[in-house]
A and B are shown apart, each in its own frame.
Chain A
């Protein structure tokens, strides 16, 4: 059986890639995709822990399913926001969207 740590390393790598994308990318679409990576990295952790540490229980897996549902909703919402931003500002580059600036 593949040791648990492999899954954790995979998840950590995925998470780091997602985090890097979230911080370094300019395009909103890429940001959303990076966010998905983060969520999926967490899911891998959840499922791996569920499989290895709580034999016979499904809490971890069910939780992962919840994460999926939320992720789907988040993507839909994010895309909707992105389209709205595009319509009003004609750009999806995050560093040009800075109305929050004081």
Chain B
């Protein structure tokens, strides 16, 4: 069956990971070939499966399943879920991964841990593909945690930098908070249903059973509890509002990692969880509105904070947060297809933006080295760039297309179609959220224009920027391929009610993905469309007016900062720059409390358990000094007395010997000498005896044994080990 090929999709990157880590880590060329080969095979298979499913050839997608966990005779099977959401992700993930892998060969060139980098990203790709494909929530969770691990490893990849280590730890711990809720959700779900496989969960009976209120005697349904707990996982992984602080810091990792993990795929996994659990969210009913509110708030919050960032990657990080907020808001309001569509387009254009930003950073670093710059230099600083459009044509085209897509530039770009659909559907449901999202769209377009102007327009504002050069082909080619997707991908999801263009190209995305879910009443009104387009264009225009029209001079203050200072809003700008001080807030509450608890525990440990141990020690010492006293005063005295007696006796015998025995012996000896004297014979000398064979053997043996004694513990161990083996063999013989 052709569908069983889908099993191989996550397997090949996994094999690449194992192969690189075990064998080829030190050989750069071979490592990246292995990684790229693994993901390329996965891509080919994924495309095959995807197009087979889309065209309907080969029948209903279904792959065989394995018996997986066996518990008291009950087997949990592990299979593949080849439903439309999984297939769409299957289209996106390997493609993006391949582009990013190829890009990494250029970006990571010459890194001392080059091979290891490719091993990690291969594992990551494998986990993401597993998460997309596998058919139960437990496997989903395992892959989810694997990605968390990869994220930690890759953010802290340059572990010589303390900031990277701290960022990795932060990402790991903050997302773990969300993961805890996710896991609790799984536990509740398993307790209520007895299975975690999608096909058991999303049946009408199960959902009806879950919708019954009265969970643990509370007036809520299990579905609501589970939906909110699982949403906790999304909040952590997709960096939604209370747990968003890790994403900007995660930019300490290499840029391909930012593109791969923190824009295109891993953070999308959180949203994908919502997509997967959508029937459950619908069952949970109206109170899921908190989901929408958190999403909308995050969208606005991220867009606001992105305005105040001067680090090219942090702008994109906050932008990612904000766009994920869009998706979450859409899904929270039931706009399933629109949210998922935005997930898809966002993955492409955000990966494109990150990779372009990486290309810019790469160029800045090279420019910096070219001018022989030393000392503190931040290649990510927007204010030090400028005028790069002329020297980096390919990168700037890619960045421009990605940026326009993010800003939702009308008709042309993919981002427009998905954002427009979200806005249209939200407009029909909740006006408050609509206005929040529209404001976020305005701000998004503004910071996109700001970034584009600061990086590519004007004149270079630093020596590094003046000497920057276009990056090599291995980096720019993936950019251009992704740019094509960032533009054209939107055309598969043009809504039918769209004026003029609607219906020209069939809305393939909606037909494919939306078939399984209830249709959402989309407003065909012109207001949301006009507002969305207006917000995007106004933001772009405004941003160009502020930053692009009159290019920033070197060392000048950010015009926005200057304007806000004039309006006595300097405090607000500083708050934007600091992300509204959430890091500080968490530092002074959660982190502080944890550290206080740890300090208290350490003190308690030192006082009570250690105190007990020390008490025992003191007791033992007291006892032993008592014993020593006894020993000195009594035993020693006895011994001394005995010694004294012995000495006395010895002296007596000595005296006896000297004065009594020796004279007698001497006399006898004197008489004995008389004999030879009398005969005149002389005693013969004894010649030195030659060293015999036995003695030689022992000397050699001794030398041999000395060489065995190397002093290294391992040699002794291996000696013991081989001796044991010989003994075992001897025993069997």
Contact = CB atoms under 8 A, between A and B. Distances in A.
Interface of A: 1-2, 19, 22-23, 31, 94-95, 97-102
B22 to A, nearest CB: 12
Contact of A101 (B70, B711, B714): B711
A95 B718 CA distance: 13
Contacts of B718: 23
Contacts of A31: 714
The 8 tightest CB contacts between A and B, nearest first, are A101-B711, A98-B711, A100-B711, A102-B709, A98-B712, A95-B712, A23-B718, A102-B706
B714 A95 contact: yes
Please tell me the size bucket of the interface on B: 10 to 19
Nearest to A99: B711
A92 B709 CA distance: 20
Contact of B717 (A23, A95, A97, A98): A23
Contacts of A100: 709, 711-713
A98 B710 contact: yes
Given A1-B70, A1-B73, A19 B721 contact: yes
Contacts of B706: 102
A19 B718 CA distance: 10
Nearest to A101: B711
12 contacts: A2-B70, A19-B721, A22-B714, A23-B718, A23-B721, A94-B712, A94-B714, A97-B711, A98-B710, A99-B711, A100-B711, A101-B709
Contacts of B717: 22-23
A97 B713 contact: yes
Most chain A CB inside 10 Å of its own CB: which residue of B709, B712, B717, B718: B712
Interface of B: 70, 73, 706, 709-714, 717-718, 721
B478 to A, nearest CB: 38
Contacts of B709: 100-102
A11 to B, nearest CB: 18
A98 B716 CA distance: 11
Contacts of A2: 70
Contacts of B712: 94-95, 97-98, 100-101
Given A1-B70, A1-B73, A2-B70, A101 B710 contact: yes
Nearest to A98: B711
A31 B73 CA distance: 40
A23 B721 CA distance: 9
A36 B709 CA distance: 27
A31 B712 CA distance: 13
Given A97-B711, A102-B706, A102-B709, 15 more contacts: A1-B73, A2-B70, A19-B721, A22-B717, A23-B714, A23-B717, A23-B718, A31-B714, A100-B711, A100-B712, A100-B713, A101-B709, A101-B711, A101-B712, A102-B711
A78 B73 CA distance: 42
Most chain B CB inside 10 Å of its own CB: which residue of A2, A19, A99, A100: A100
Contacts of B710: 98, 101
A2 B71 CA distance: 10
Given A23-B718, A23-B721, A102-B706, A94 B713 contact: yes
A83 to B, nearest CB: 17
Nearest to A102: B709
A22 B718 CA distance: 9
A22 to B, nearest CB: 6
A97 B711 CA distance: 8
A95 B710 CA distance: 9
Contacts of B721: 19, 23
Contacts of B711: 97-102
A95 B711 CA distance: 8
Nearest to A22: B717
Contacts of A98: 710-712
Contacts of A99: 711
A2 B709 CA distance: 46
Contacts of A19: 721
A22 B712 CA distance: 12
Contacts of A102: 706, 709, 711
Contacts of B70: 1-2
A53 to B, nearest CB: 19
Contacts of A101: 709-712
A1 B73 CA distance: 7
A6 B718 CA distance: 28
A91 to B, nearest CB: 13
Nearest to A1: B70
B126 to A, nearest CB: 22
Most chain A CB inside 10 Å of its own CB: which residue of B709, B710, B714, B717: B714
Contacts of A94: 712-714
B699 to A, nearest CB: 15
B161 to A, nearest CB: 23
A22 B710 CA distance: 17
A94 B718 CA distance: 13
A7 to B, nearest CB: 13
A32 to B, nearest CB: 12
Nearest to B722: A23
Contacts of A23: 714, 717-718, 721
A54 B421 CA distance: 64
B220 to A, nearest CB: 39
A76 to B, nearest CB: 13
A102 B293 CA distance: 75
Nearest to B706: A102
Nearest to A19: B721
A23 B725 CA distance: 15
A23 B706 CA distance: 21
Contacts of A95: 712, 714
B174 to A, nearest CB: 28
A8 B713 CA distance: 29
Nearest to A25: B714
A2 B73 CA distance: 10
A97 B710 CA distance: 10
B504 to A, nearest CB: 58
A95 B713 CA distance: 8
A100 B711 CA distance: 4
Nearest to B705: A102
A6 B173 CA distance: 35
B587 to A, nearest CB: 31
A99 B709 CA distance: 11
Nearest to A100: B711
B70 to A, nearest CB: 7
Most chain A CB inside 10 Å of its own CB: which residue of B73, B713, B721: B713
Most chain B CB inside 10 Å of its own CB: which residue of A2, A99, A101: A101
Nearest to A28: B713
A98 B715 CA distance: 10
A40 B188 CA distance: 32
B163 to A, nearest CB: 25
